[in-house]
A and B are shown apart, each in its own frame.
Chain A
């Protein structure tokens, strides 16, 4: 009977992970500023697996400028910089398929576990990899 389950859940901890905070703060940016100043803490997100397809890391030294990643990228994330023959990634457009990582012949690209990428500026330093 469902009632038993309900009464049991009444006294158990809720299944919801209270990430980032339990209740909506009065001001989201105010909270973020406090967190940055270490005056408040946010609850951590649910742990992610090691091989999560998160933000792509780029090893500039290894890159040979072959443009293969640009050819396979479905979302036109990657921009070629002709003067240096390197690439720049605009993460705000990324769909996190990691096909560029598979395509790279010299393993200059790798997936990371970073996935908290919300930002107010789509071309901020965090969202631009080069």
Chain B
């Protein structure tokens, strides 16, 4: 008993630190590649680490009018929730550590928690900029949660049909059984639409341009985070980095769970290494397409425009994808 507990603890620590480290590396790569696309040199890859170290060394200012306990608690809540998220998402060859304790539904909830924490922290800061940012974040969540849920649940639902009796809401099972091969042509088309919808939701979930409306630097000076500084800001920063890993791992688990080792017939330690490397490539591919390219290629939307964008076209596309999956089930 203690043996498995210690093992789980050890694995948990590795996943946590590995996730945070990977998130920071992705942040560095994101900044570097975005800079290169803009014909700039950009900061060195380790700049996110410098940033965190510097933030940790800075004073942690709590505004006079802030609700101090809420204001200080929320960065911790955000970090804890994204860290928990890492335990429920398959990371490459690794099955989710706590896969037996929660499934896709829990992941949807956990994805919402950091945003909620930022909303509460923003309101607790009691500054006009943070308040406007918090209001905007709430609108954003209402806007993108529905297509997100449709995309995630659509896959699980269709899989439950293809694999009767399996726990298809478990991400481990979903990742082990790629849906692409289990559906007909209509279903494949539906899956492409769902995957597209999820990729569009990704930058909104991660609050990147064009959906960084709650933070909008030029408008509301950082919005939600306007008053945060020092350690609190560093915690939000790390939470954001981990969320980037978790979100891209989620997209990979749902739509691109293939490993190379099986195809190439590699086994043993080499297989684990190969799959881990391939996983990194895949997740960064998702980050590059959904975050880096999108954030350099578009102007920031206004909150009403973003809400309309998610409620009408994106929701429409995800529902169409779901309908195609359903149709495929009847036909196939």
| Chain A directly contacts chain B within the complex, with at least one CB pair under 8 Å | yes
- Chain A CB within 8 A of B58 CB: no
- Once the chains bind, are A14 and B293 in contact (CB under 8 Å)? no
- Once the chains bind, are A16 and B40 in contact (CB under 8 Å)? yes
- Chain A CB within 8 A of B306 CB: no
- Once the chains bind, are B293 and A9 in contact (CB under 8 Å)? no
Assembled-state Cα–Cα distance A7/B293 (Å)? 9
Q: Which of A3, A6, A7, A18 contacts B41 (CB 8 A)?
A: A18
- Chain B CB within 8 A of A15 CB: yes
Number of interface residues of B (CB under 8 A): 14
- Once the chains bind, are A15 and B37 in contact (CB under 8 Å)? no
**B residues with CB within 8 A of A:** 33, 35-44, 293, 296-297
B-chain residues with CB within 8 Å of residue A50 when the two chains form the complex: none
Q: A3-B293, A3-B297 are in contact. Are A9 and B41 (CB under 8 A)?
A: no
Q: For residue B43, which residue of chain A has the nearest CB?
A: A23
Number of interface residues of A (CB under 8 A): 13
- Once the chains bind, are A23 and B297 in contact (CB under 8 Å)? no
- Once the chains bind, are A10 and B33 in contact (CB under 8 Å)? yes
A-chain residues with CB within 8 Å of residue B42 when the two chains form the complex: 14
**A residues with CB within 8 A of B:** 2-3, 6-7, 9-10, 12, 14-16, 18, 22-23
A77 shortest CB reach to chain B, Å: 36
Assembled-state Cα–Cα distance A14/B35 (Å)? 9
- Once the chains bind, are B44 and A9 in contact (CB under 8 Å)? no
B-chain residues with CB within 8 Å of residue A10 when the two chains form the complex: 33, 36-37
Assembled-state Cα–Cα distance A18/B35 (Å)? 14
CB-based A-B contact count at 8 angstroms: 32
A13 shortest CB reach to chain B, Å: 8
B250 shortest CB reach to chain A, Å: 25
Assembled-state Cα–Cα distance A11/B3 (Å)? 50
Q: Which of B33, B38, B44 contacts A23 (CB 8 A)?
A: B44
A15 shortest CB reach to chain B, Å: 4
Q: Which of B36, B43, B44 contacts A14 (CB 8 A)?
A: B36
Q: For residue B50, which residue of chain A has the nearest CB?
A: A24
B132 shortest CB reach to chain A, Å: 29
Q: For residue A23, which residue of chain B has the nearest CB?
A: B44
Assembled-state Cα–Cα distance A10/B39 (Å)? 7
A-B contacts, 14 listed (Cβ < 8 Å): A2-B297, A3-B297, A6-B296, A6-B297, A9-B36, A9-B37, A9-B38, A9-B39, A10-B36, A12-B39, A14-B36, A14-B41, A16-B40, A18-B41
B-chain residues with CB within 8 Å of residue A3 when the two chains form the complex: 293, 297
Assembled-state Cα–Cα distance A10/B44 (Å)? 16
A-chain residues with CB within 8 Å of residue B43 when the two chains form the complex: 23
Q: For residue A6, which residue of chain B has the nearest CB?
A: B37
Q: Which of B39, B44, B293, B296 contacts A16 (CB 8 A)?
A: B39
- Once the chains bind, are A14 and B40 in contact (CB under 8 Å)? yes
B-chain residues with CB within 8 Å of residue A15 when the two chains form the complex: 39-40
Assembled-state Cα–Cα distance A14/B44 (Å)? 14
Most buried by A among B38, B42, B293: B38
B-chain residues with CB within 8 Å of residue A2 when the two chains form the complex: 297
Assembled-state Cα–Cα distance A12/B43 (Å)? 17
Q: For residue A7, which residue of chain B has the nearest CB?
A: B37
Q: For residue A17, which residue of chain B has the nearest CB?
A: B41
Assembled-state Cα–Cα distance A18/B42 (Å)? 11
Assembled-state Cα–Cα distance A14/B42 (Å)? 9
A23 shortest CB reach to chain B, Å: 5
Given contacts A6-B297, A10-B33, A23-B44, 17 further A-B contacts (CB under 8 A): A2-B297, A6-B37, A6-B296, A9-B37, A9-B38, A10-B36, A10-B37, A14-B35, A14-B36, A14-B40, A14-B41, A14-B42, A15-B39, A15-B40, A16-B41, A22-B41, A23-B43
